[in-house]
Amino acid sequence: MSGAPLLPGPVPFASRAATLGVMGGGQLGRMFVHAAQAMGYAVAVLDPDPASPAGRVADYHITTAYDDEAGLAQLMQRCEAITTEFENVPAAALTTLAAQRRVAPGAQAVAVAQDRIAEKTHFERCAVQTGVGPAPWQAIRSADDLARVPDTLLPGLLKTARLGYDGKGQVAVDDRTQLAAAWAQLGQMPCVLEKRLPLRAEWSVILARGADGQTVHFPLQCNRHRQGILAVTETCPEPSGSTRALVEQAIAATRAVAADLQYVGVLCVEFFVVDDGSAHGQLVVNEMAPRPHNSGHYTIDACDVSQFELQVRTLAGLPLVSPRLHSAAVMLNLLGDCWWRNGRPHTPDWPRVLALPGVHLHLYGKLQARPGRKMGHLTVTAADLPQARAVALQAAALLGIEPWPGS
């Protein structure tokens, strides 16, 4: 990706604003659209759903499949630069777009994130310089691979190599009998088996990297998941001692993952802190997302530059600035379960929730609330983390969200 920056506002002699494109119409695309429009860009969204959250707020909505030649041609005609809002957009479509337009992130990086086998291989290569690698694992593509699984990988997690997210395509297995049954349950498709490790914490690091290699990052996030879906993100307290060394290691590992891919855009890398018997634990890398991430949504309200503005800046070739956290924050995912009580439709008590100090509500424009579906998020900002957590717990109680350990 090269060329002069795409400047915000009207294009001289064209009577229009520079237009950015996004492949995908979900909530991440919607928040990208809002950030780009706030900076003076027009946005075109390509998504097959005519009611997609991003498509409904974009300047242009191209309602075709992601690999539709006519749709891709229309996107290239309208846009000067194009990004993606989720990793399962066909990498081949990004290659097609990149032949004519600036595309970030590139197809190679997205292809690595689409395949857990390629992703873990990439992490192992980066671990040579950072010391942070994945949990012990093995690829399973055949019955012979299944038979060669070492006993040391059990108990473990069997995950499909492709198309798994938010806990989908994953099965916990304790022994070889369960492993064989799980592989059959998953259709004997290519999978990875990861050793199950005792977790102390779940972290994520979000960075932005420009075409010139400049990199900036947000403070490390502390995350909690339920049924494989992110439930709560907290801005981590200022680390000290051995924890500081682990945090610095996570940031260095994220930079290495991005640099090795010559990545351009916003990237999230998730880590586990595992109990290895030491005082501070051991860091292992879990997975990456070649886009803004659910755990970074709090940056809209708690930082002077959000992850979505940095996505705009990396795509347009604008200067990157190190984001500053101006408020402690706790983010709650709002799943469709909040709209159901005892099996019946329920309207959340928004007046009482919004009466709480420091509460910021973000709903994604999805018209049907289903259990497990991400409908929005709630960010609570405060002067310090204990205050933010206390208010977040009040909001959670009003919304029927269970409190989380350590809160």
- CA 241, 269, 322 angle in degrees (round to 5)? 70
- Given this model, what pLDDT does residue 1 score? 45
Shared domain for 234 and 319, answered yes or no, is: yes
Is a pLDDT exceeding 80 seen at residue 166? no
Domain around 336:
328-407
Shared domain for 322 and 333, answered yes or no, is: no
Shared domain for 189 and 240, answered yes or no, is: no
SS3 letters for 358-404? CEEEEECCCCCCCCCCEEEEEEEEECCHHHHHHHHHHHHHHHCCCCC
Residue 114 lies in a domain: no
Q: Residues 111, 130, 201, 190: is their CA dihedral positive or negative?
A: positive
Q: Tens of pLDDT along 26-52? A: 999 999 999 999 999 999 999 999 999
Show Cβ contacts of residue 282 under 8 Å, excluding neighbours closer than 6 positions: 273, 274, 276
Shared domain for 171 and 202, answered yes or no, is: no
Residue 165 DSSP one-character state: -
Report how far apart, in Å, the C-alpha atoms of 22 and of each of 29, 82, 266, 284 are.
7, 5, 14, 32
- Given this model, what pLDDT does residue 240 score? 61
Q: What share of the chain is helix, strand, coil (3-state, %, to 5)?
A: 30, 30, 40
Mean pLDDT of 184-194: 95
Shared domain for 191 and 274, answered yes or no, is: no
Shared domain for 214 and 182, answered yes or no, is: no
**Amino acid identity at 104:** A
DSSP β-ladder status, 170-173 and 156-160: antiparallel
Residue 325 DSSP one-character state: B
Cis peptide leading into 8, omega within 30 of 0? no
Shared domain for 311 and 207, answered yes or no, is: yes
Q: Tens of pLDDT along 122-134? A: 999 999 989 999 9
Q: Tens of pLDDT along 266-287? A: 999 999 999 988 878 999 999 9
Q: Tens of pLDDT along 339-356? A: 999 889 999 999 999 999
Mean pLDDT of 198-221: 96
Residue 232 lies in a domain: yes
User: What is the DSSP secondary-structure string of 202-248?
Assistant: EEEEEEEE-TTS-EEEPPPEEEEEETTEEEEEEEPPPP-HHHHHHHH
Residue 160 lies in a domain: yes
Q: What is the CATH number of the domain that holds 165?
A: 3.30.1490.20
CA–CA separation, 119 and 114 (whole Å): 8
Shared domain for 290 and 336, answered yes or no, is: no
Q: Whole-model pTM above 0.85?
A: yes
How many domains does the structure of the chain reveal?
4
Residue 109 lies in a domain: no
CB 80, CB 102: distance < 8 Å: yes
Show Cβ contacts of residue 193 under 8 Å, excluding neighbours closer than 6 positions: 137, 138, 140, 149, 153, 156, 157, 158, 159, 173, 179
Residue 239, token pair as written in the block: 């680390």
Residue 112 lies in a domain: no
Q: What is the mean pLDDT of the chain?
A: 94
> What's the Rg (C-alpha) of the chain?
21
Structural domain ending residue among the three candidates 302, 326, 350: 326
CB 99, CB 73: distance < 8 Å: no
Residue among 388, 391, 377, 385 at smallest CA distance from 30? 377
Residue 347 lies in a domain: yes
Q: What is the CATH number of the domain that holds 87?
A: 3.40.50.20
Shared domain for 228 and 256, answered yes or no, is: yes
Confidence of residue 242 (pLDDT cuts 50, 70, 90): low
Structural domain ending residue among the three candidates 326, 356, 383: 326
Is a pLDDT exceeding 90 seen at residue 12? no
Residue 134 DSSP one-character state: B
Residue 372 lies in a domain: yes
User: Which stretches within 229-380 are classed as H helix?
Assistant: 241-260, 299-302, 307-316, 350-354
- Given this model, what pLDDT does residue 93 score? 97
Shared domain for 283 and 210, answered yes or no, is: yes
Shared domain for 317 and 241, answered yes or no, is: yes
Residue 127 lies in a domain: no
Structural domain ending residue among the three candidates 164, 195, 226: 195
Shared domain for 214 and 320, answered yes or no, is: yes
- Given this model, what pLDDT does residue 279 score? 79
Q: What is the CATH number of the domain that holds 209?
A: 3.30.470.20
